[in-house]
Structure 1
Amino acid sequence: MAEEKPEKLRHLLVQGTGTSYNYVSTLSVPHSRTTPTRDRAAHGQRLLREYGAAFKTGIMARGGGADIPGVSLTVRSEPGSELPIESLDSRRPDGPRVLAVREVEGATVAQVFVPQGGFQLIEEKLQDYLRKDTPKGKPANEALIASIASFQLAALEELWTDPELPFPAPSQPMAWEAWLRDSSEELLSSFLSLCRQHGLVTGQRSLEFPDRRVVLVSGTANQLSSFAILDTLAELRPARTPPTEFVEMPSREQGEWSRELMSRLVLPAADAPVVCVLDTGVSNNHPLLAPLLPAANMFAYQRNWGLADHDGHGTEMAGLAGYGDLIDALESKMRVALEVGLESVKILPPPPATNAPELYGAITADAAGQVEVAAPKRLRVFSMSVSTSNGRSAGRPSSWSAEIDRLAAGVDDGRQRLYCICAGNADPNWYPHYPEGAMTGKPLDPAQAWNALTIGAYTERDIIAEPSLSGWLPIAPHGDISPTSTSSITFERGWPNKPDLVLEGGNVALSPGGILPPDASIPSLSLLTTDRMIRGRLFTYTNATSAATAQASRMAAHLWAEYPTLRPETIRALLVHSARWTPAMVSRTPNKNNRVRLYGYGVPSLARARWSARDALTLVVEDELRPFKVGKSPAQMRLHKFPWPVEELQRLGAADVRLRVTLSYFIEPNPAQRGWMGRFRYQSHGLRFSVRRPTENDSAFRARLSKAMQDDGYTGSTGTDPGWELGGNRRNRGSIHSDVWHGSAADLASRQVLAVFPVGGWKADARRVEKPTSVQFSLVVSIETDETEVDLYTPVATELGVPVAVES
């Protein structure tokens, strides 16, 4: 399909195609664990003694009274043996609770809080192991007890769950993220009181998650080592600190170009969507920004920081969010229609002030609150091109990324939000070793957020125009990953593909001697944007994943201007659905797992995201389902039978066509470090899609997906479904899933039924939902062909009763 079409046909929004069916997973894959061979009596008696001694020592060390809430213990497995931690975590309110799980030298190490009233629950498991047999003649609880190597009284350093950094020295002052073992106000109050008693300084705000509350604490490990404080904690993590991060034209000439562009501007409507720039503030006295960013749209986390840009970064991002690369607008002689406005929230303080690091989740929430109170009905895309300088997390959630997931999902207020956040830049020391730096450099916190669109950088800038740089060579080839970008290739298995998309982020060049320029950027390899005018200059250049993020936010806002009734997750789906890998990307990564981990789903196209065409039909569905069983209400799957251009596809016969499917939804996060599997999973739920195969009828399709749809004579499904670009293992990470099927038009003609069905999450596994709950999802489905004499769009539009109005 051509990149741009001479016609613009609106996507078809489809309603009423979905039908609910009861859903019971057909997957029954037992989790295989290797259980060590034990001398039953010796092993069980030793553990019984260790457990009782550790608990008694802990109670006595805490004063020995009946008012002691309990004791934190460390449970360790043998190296190479996995600990079935679910068996240590009781569903009883007074039972033992698994606090955190980590791997140390091949062993699983779990921190378990044992209340005084719940001591006997683990003791009974140990006694039963010694005395009782299963019907198969095995010791009771063998999988759990045989895998345990030891019980010990917990020490503070065993609550440290950051694998990238060593536990701090006992007397080293630092800022900590204290993850309390539950989210109650009572425990928070007790913790804050204990911190005051031991000279620790705590933050003013806290973040609340399921089972956890996070508070910033400043002090030393020695100060935190009080037993009373230790028993309030589930985890300790390091607090993250964010970074405080025509150009040669004379100022007068820049002003002339700016005024000429202003004479051609068509300003956005008063109710137009906005890009809300979360950054260092914006200089809205810039003549090109003032029309888009009135004073009423300017905010700061703390008013005494001021509203103006103290650094320049925020103004650069605002220029890209409003105009894209300014060269295009400046050199054009056409009218420039601006469809979106701007907002600014200053979330980074001017020097020498610093923010309490852990509070960036709270600051991000406060930013949303300020703009939504000021303009509650406004459509907005939050654009955040800031990240931590020390938070490469291998995909594991942080308090900041989890708070973004909560905000996007609208957990507290039911208001869903769209966030575009930068993947974070690679270490410049790795630029000369391209592409290793981009392939091995992990995204920066909070880029691992599931519900956000995480943006990396690619580049088409490979021509150096500066005469003074003769002999210099660009590092990245045309259409490939930018040297500044990062990827999730080295993420731990199961975490989302990040970035989700890549946009132009500029290139980097090396001198003939292999040396980088002083600031690693060259104007002709960068993007032109607005300057904060500290020296009277109106234009500057910028690059990297920050610039890519601002452009992605602009695209999202433009989409919302076209389709203002769509949900945030649908806008996200349309952008991902429009993305394609460049030839350079495909050539670089024959391994498709590496491809989606490095480039996400590719480079988005606003034209594709916004418009259908005769040979590229796009259908959009917004729906909901019940993802898990609650009481007598079963889980659901939704089957959608789409209006399909069957006759046109049959006429095309063996011609190649592409079916592209994108499923987007928001999860509720649970970021406690407890292994993130079973009922401790990070996501509240997951969804998947499947398309009916050419050889299946509707009943066979339903039976293949759900046990609830299988009758007594069901013998299982036959055949596979080749032709998918990625397949389930690669696409089914995170909370947005996109794939494309290649095949014949004749085969596609019978594939108009698509199912969305649930997979597990912490809400279902923990049985914490008391009434049936539905979750929203968005589905985007496209049929594309390279055949020129074809009209896939009109038959479907006619069936739906949509006039085929063409905008040229």
Structure 2
Amino acid sequence: MTANYQHLNISKAPLQNDRRTRRVNMPRIRRGDLRQHGQMLLNQLQTLRPMLTQVPGSADDGRYILKLNYSGTMNFSALIHHGVEFVSQENKQVCVVFSDEQGLATFAEHLSSLGLGNTELTYKQILEALDGIEGWSAEDRKSWALRRYGFPVAERFKLDVELWPIEVAHHPKRIDLYTRFEHWLQEQDISRQDKVNLDSLLMYRVEVSLPQAEHLLAHRDVRFIDLPPSSGISYQQINRDINTLPARLSSPAENATRICILDSGINTNHPLLSAAIAESASFVPDQDAFDEQGHGTAVASIALYGDVEACNQSNFWQPQLWLYNGKVLNEQAEFNAETIEATLAAAVAYFTDLGCRIFNLSLGNANAPYDGKHIRGIAYLLDTLSRQYNVLFVVSAGNFAGSDEPPVPQSSWRDEYPDYLLHEASVIIDPAPALNVLTVGSIARHNATHDAQRRPEDIQHLCPATENQPSPFTRHGPSIKGAFKPDVMAYGGSVASNVRQGQWHAHMRGLGVLSCHHQFQGATLFKELSGTSFAAPYITHLAGHLLNEYPDMSASMLRAMLVNHASVPQAMTQAFPQAMRESYKNAHTTRNREIEREVTGYGIIDEDALYRSSEYVVVMRCEEQIENNAHQFFELPFPASFLRSQRSTREIRVTLAYSPAVRTTRMDYTATRISFRLVKGRSLDEVQASFNHQTQSETETRSDDVQTNRVVSAQQRERGTVQSSVWTSRQRNPDEKWFIVVTRQDRDWGEAFSSEQEPYALVVTATDRDNAQAQLYTQIQAQIREQERARARIG
């Protein structure tokens, strides 16, 4: 049996460089006739001004909203010089600003002066960049769901109303904004149900009539109106006699990891769960924490045991994690009348006080597919809470059940798989786009239904996906700026079509994942389900066991460790035909992006070396902090035997994770960027020079070395807050030295929201499986000790 060891710790080198700056000359928008351009914009502003005064909310404080369309880049902080105040960047070429009468007069005066030879305007390039001036319209305020479905057909109905999040939560301007709005709601006899006030999110749940809803669509301070979140689940049962279970299960160790299931509740009396239940709490008014629907119980059983099917086959049940039950969905497993963001914030605060470090959220808002623009709603909340509490959220990517408008698939799930997996109708839904969480998609484990197993001679049910391929219902990314989402995949089941009843008759019996039944009695201990909801808790299970082994790990380290052990298997890649992969990679809008990454992210987690290293596979980890505009250096302790010139496969994996502050008013979203490069050099001094601000004119910039054998480029991975790549080689040079360079750069607006020292987690895995005599762990451990002694001598 192969010996296993605790993962090793590595340290950064005792030096730090100022970040090497990049010289970028932003292209200036040139207008043929500046005078004519200024007059065109002035006419638009003068036409708009009378309408602005009629917008509800404007009369309260004499301020107005303008939507500025622009080309190229925009200096948002300098807009104030032209009489307007930046509020939000709404997409790549649109920003929204506030102004008052005096500001509008200044804006009009500057536009009228544009192009006059005797007038010199400060920041004239801003006016040159403007393409047009509009108001924020009712159509701009409609969400995807509202545009698609319209308002509910009812005398009164609920809406989620998001206001412009000016300043931060408790700033006097913010308080004045929401005080005026709440007074207006009272005047309009609009019933306020709930409210969420965070730095970058100000949202109300209201109950309205149709005329009141139309009035809201015109209100100056309203940024966005959405239908309340929608969720739904379905399942079928599988039987097992309760008397065959072990007589009594032992509880987890007292100091075992505490994981929280935020869902529809848990049936805490289930014989396979009761020993691990720590505490339950309901955040749904007038309802206890019991699971009426069964969704939460199913999720909890997978989070506790991982592969319930394997446990059932062996009849081996050993709880090693504590389950905390937070009911945030009602008895129909739907979001309640209160704003789900407020409910989740209260639940997370409650359970973090009880020591929970990992939270599973197998829920999604089908009314909020990611539109490629702002991250908002639940996703923004989770990104904020993960940073605030240093907790890991594991969320599901969401399920795709087909689309009528447009029809997806058009005729057959099986024939059109996997094409529809990349259709715009099957994009990830809130909260899956969140960056500081682990988002989980689903892969298939089985491909034969119960009927197909009993009657293999009959053609009745056909499954689009086979083992380890994306489930037919899993949703695709990417998230903002092209960040990989989902991050990883896990078994979530599959569905098949009855070929004699048409494409819409989905059948899952025999194709799902096994979980506990909330209404257990006699032989109904288990049930079978399919969905990304049941892939996410498997990752929660892995994270919980990892925290059992290494209780000091931060949430960022947990994410880094899990992603570091993920890869895209050949079966998953082959789900997408070669021609389809090449076409996607070469297309203008998706250039250099791999189609399988959009659906599977970093892939499936290999558990072999997740918890322990061996002499063949060595995991090294480090938690550090870095200041803005700085480089930090790690000299990797690779022995000569690993870098030998003899031909054999060796592998280096590097993963970095961090949890930045975020803002919904910026398309950049994250306040800071931390990234890494894997480089080689003769010495640390040589590498340092390549990343030194003071010597940048004498040396060329450095990206990753050996790019031809790398699976994810630096440009692709650094779009996310968990970043990973793998380098595979057959021959190396024993005299080579390998280094990781970590860099931090705050965005121009982000320094105020970031910490002076931002934490991050780094994981490196060296693999040498072809070497039968490998003593890689022993040799790397010796190298680390030598590095420590050398630093002590210098110190």
TM class by shorter-chain length?
0.7 to 0.9
Out of 30, 38, 42, the position equivalent to 1:44 is 38
1:406 paired residue number: 384
Identical residues among aligned pairs (%): 19
Out of 147, 160, 177, the position equivalent to 1:176 is 160
Out of 433, 436, 454, the position equivalent to 1:451 is 436
Q: Distance in 2 between matches of 1:64 and 1:153?
A: 12
Contact 1:224 1:230 survives alignment (8 Å): no
2:16 paired residue number: 20
Q: In the TM superposition, what are the counterparts of 1:362-381 in structure 2 within 5 Å?
A: 362-373=342-353, 375=354, 378-381=355-358
1:724 paired residue number: 710
Out of 468, 473, 484, the position equivalent to 2:462 is 473
The Cα shift of 1:330 comes to: 2.7
Q: Does 1:437 align with 2:420?
A: yes
Q: Does 1:217 align with 2:206?
A: yes
Query: 1:371/1:511 Cα in 2 relative to 1: closer, same or farther (>3 Å)?
Result: same
Q: Does 1:201 align with 2:202?
A: no
Corresponding letter in the other structure for 2:326: V
Q: Distance in 2 between matches of 1:228 and 1:444?
A: 24
Q: Distance in 2 between matches of 1:605 and 1:331?
A: 21
Out of 566, 580, 592, the position equivalent to 2:553 is 566
Q: Give TM-score scaled by structure 1 length.
A: 0.84
Q: Distance in 1 between matches of 2:176 and 2:255?
A: 44
Query: 1:266/1:368 Cα in 2 relative to 1: closer, same or farther (>3 Å)?
Result: same
Q: Does 1:667 align with 2:647?
A: no
Q: Does 1:740 align with 2:733?
A: no
Deviations 1:722-759 (A, max 9, x none): 22112123222221100011224524862431111024
Q: Does 1:75 align with 2:73?
A: no
Deviations 1:740-793 (A, max 9, x none): 1122452486243111102443xx435535x97111100001111232221211
Deviations 1:450-509 (A, max 9, x none): 011000111231344545554333321222111121111xx4771421111111112222
The Cα shift of 1:317 comes to: 0.9
Q: Distance in 1 between matches of 2:90 and 2:642?
A: 53
Q: Distance in 2 between matches of 1:288 and 1:556?
A: 20
Q: Distance in 1 between matches of 2:367 and 2:233?
A: 13
Contact 1:177 1:239 survives alignment (8 Å): no
Contact 1:702 1:709 survives alignment (8 Å): no
SS of residue in 2 equivalent to 1:552: helix
Q: In the TM superposition, what are the counterparts of 1:108-507 in structure 2 within 5 Å?
A: 108-123=93-108, 125-131=110-116, 143-160=125-142, 162=144, 165=147, 168=150, 175-182=159-166, 183=169, 184-210=174-200, 212-219=201-208, 222-223=211-212, 230-243=219-232, 254-258=241-245, 260=246, 262-263=247-248, 265-294=249-278, 297-302=279-284, 304-332=286-314, 336-351=317-332, 355-356=336-337, 359-373=339-353, 375=354, 378-395=355-372, 396-410=374-388, 415-428=389-402, 430=409, 431-432=413-414, 433-440=416-423, 441-466=426-451, 467-468=453-454, 470=456, 471=459, 472-488=461-477, 491=478, 494-507=481-494
Q: Distance in 1 between matches of 2:117 and 2:192?
A: 49
2:587 paired residue number: none
Contact 1:638 1:756 survives alignment (8 Å): yes
Corresponding letter in the other structure for 1:587: Q
2:617 paired residue number: 616
Q: Distance in 2 between matches of 1:336 and 1:167?
A: 46
Q: Distance in 2 between matches of 1:317 and 1:719?
A: 40
1:639 paired residue number: 633
Deviations 1:56-106 (A, max 9, x none): 6645878998x73311223345xxxx2644358646898422445358xxx
Q: Does 1:626 align with 2:636?
A: no
Corresponding letter in the other structure for 1:11: H
Q: Distance in 2 between matches of 1:149 and 1:164?
A: 28
The Cα shift of 1:658 comes to: 1.1
Deviations 1:530-558 (A, max 9, x none): 10126652111122211111111011000
Corresponding letter in the other structure for 1:426: F
2:5 paired residue number: 9
The Cα shift of 1:32 comes to: 4.2
Q: Distance in 2 between matches of 1:10 and 1:45?
A: 70
Query: 1:51/1:503 Cα in 2 relative to 1: closer, same or farther (>3 Å)?
Result: same
Deviations 1:112-145 (A, max 9, x none): 221344335534542452335899xxx9756443
Q: Distance in 2 between matches of 1:92 and 1:243?
A: 50
Query: 1:481/1:186 Cα in 2 relative to 1: closer, same or farther (>3 Å)?
Result: same
Q: Distance in 2 between matches of 1:713 and 1:235?
A: 50
Q: Distance in 1 between matches of 2:761 and 2:534?
A: 28
2:680 paired residue number: 693
Q: Distance in 2 between matches of 1:196 and 1:719?
A: 59
Q: Does 1:756 align with 2:742?
A: yes
Unmatched 5+ stretches in structure 2: 404-408, 582-592, 787-795
Query: 1:388/1:243 Cα in 2 relative to 1: closer, same or farther (>3 Å)?
Result: farther
Corresponding letter in the other structure for 2:526: F
The Cα shift of 1:689 comes to: 0.5
Q: Distance in 2 between matches of 1:718 and 1:554?
A: 36
Query: 1:718/1:724 Cα in 2 relative to 1: closer, same or farther (>3 Å)?
Result: closer
Corresponding letter in the other structure for 1:409: R
Q: Does 1:544 align with 2:531?
A: yes
Deviations 1:674-723 (A, max 9, x none): 5x1xxxx21111111012234x64344334334x1416544666996322
Q: Distance in 1 between matches of 2:356 and 2:61?
A: 51
The Cα shift of 1:203 comes to: 3.1
Q: Distance in 2 between matches of 1:515 and 1:324?
A: 34
Unmatched 5+ stretches in structure 1: 628-634, 803-808
Out of 710, 720, 730, the position equivalent to 2:695 is 710
The Cα shift of 1:218 comes to: 3.4
Corresponding letter in the other structure for 2:65: S
The Cα shift of 1:527 comes to: 1.9
Q: Tell me whether 421-430 or 681-690 shows the greater mean CA deviation.
A: 421-430
1:786 paired residue number: 769
Q: CA RMSD in A?
A: 3.5
Q: Distance in 1 between matches of 2:724 and 2:768?
A: 18
Contact 1:71 1:231 survives alignment (8 Å): yes
The Cα shift of 1:565 comes to: 0.7
Query: 1:534/1:205 Cα in 2 relative to 1: closer, same or farther (>3 Å)?
Result: farther
Q: Distance in 1 between matches of 2:210 and 2:733?
A: 64
Contact 2:657 2:760 survives alignment (8 Å): yes
Corresponding letter in the other structure for 1:575: L
SS of residue in 2 equivalent to 1:648: coil
